[in-house]
Amino acid sequence: MIITSGAALGAIIGTIGLAFFSIFCGLLYKGFDRKIAAHMQSRVGPPVIQPFLDVSKFMIKDTVQPERALGWLYNAAPIISLASVITVLLYLPFGGLTFTPVLSGYGDLILVVYLLIIPALAMVAGGFASSSPFATVGAQRKMITMMSYEFPLAVVAIAIAWKLNHLYAGESVFGLAFIYSHPLWGHVGPAGIIGMLLLLFSMIVVTPGQLATVPFDLDEAGPEIAEGLTAEYSGRNFALFYIADAAKMVAVGTLTIALFFPYDLSPLIGISGPVGGLIDFAFFLLKLFLVIMLTVTLTRVAMARLKVSQVPTTYWIATTAIAIVGLILLVVPQ
């Protein structure tokens, strides 16, 4: 595929714009998450703009590197984490079909599933590189969580692509733009709808593990291992990890929307053109907010942190079994 200079310039501009907007949305949703969680626990909570204030504070503070740290890896890990999250967003239909993914046609769902591993791997590498015993324990716990949630996530992705391949043989069924533009809910029978609900439930369970939030925040566990992976990080390096986490929240939420809620509002109300595009984009942001509230806020308020031994059991046995049942119900002839 030949890339012209104009297309390359458009991709660069699109990447920069998407990076800044997704980071802004991620920090804003983090603020809503903390505020809503506080109200659910009968607290006042911080202002919605608190994540922006935190990042500003981290950016102006000194970056302190531990004496025994592996310097190049310790400093590279936050950059790799943020860069990999932004790369994932380039393949996703952010904003629905209003905007074509920047790298549409250059990657697919399987690539996105694997790319989502890199931010976590970067944090693990940074934790080990810091030479902190707390970070080492956090890195070990992070690897256990990663190995646990990848299997059910892969089952969810394969199930949806498999069904799309049955319906649209010969098409690029693994492309995220294609998946978003071909919702499955109206093309499956009662058993298929139950299967989709089971797959959606599995995705909801996987999301807190992906984002390292309660009940799967074992790698941080402040009272136990003093924030674990980021125990020795400060200043700009810590800010980059914080920003990467916010952007990853947007990426995982966008992936969930593409797989399970790929609907736009403008066709339902009969509005097209630029106004319809703006309506669909605003509707996408609303869907993203609701997905984050369901998978992150409500989950961490309602549950306590699991034990390390409970994470593999939850994902490998319970969640994977539910996802496989959902796959079978979805792909069997209706």
107-159 pLDDT, tens per residue? 789 999 999 999 999 999 999 999 888 888 888 888 999 999 999 999 999 99
Q: What is the pTM for the complete model shown?
A: 0.93
- Measured from the Cβ of residue 131, the count of other Cβ atoms closer than 10 Å reads 15
pLDDT at 6: 65
333 pLDDT exceeds 90? no
Residue range 51-63: mean pLDDT, rounded: 93
103 pLDDT above the threshold of 60: yes
Q: Give burial (CB, 10 Å; 0-12/13-18/19+) of 7.
A: exposed
Res. 1 pLDDT band, cuts 50 70 90: very low
pLDDT digit string, tens, across residues 160-180? 999 999 888 878 888 888 999
> In the chain, what are the domain boundaries?
10-331
Three-class SS state of 319: helix
Please give the pLDDT value at position 225: 65
Report pLDDT for 18. Answer: 93
Q: What angle do CA 303, 308, 312 make, to 5 degrees?
A: 90
Burial of 195 by CB count in 10 Å (0-12 exposed, 13-18 middle, 19+ buried)? buried
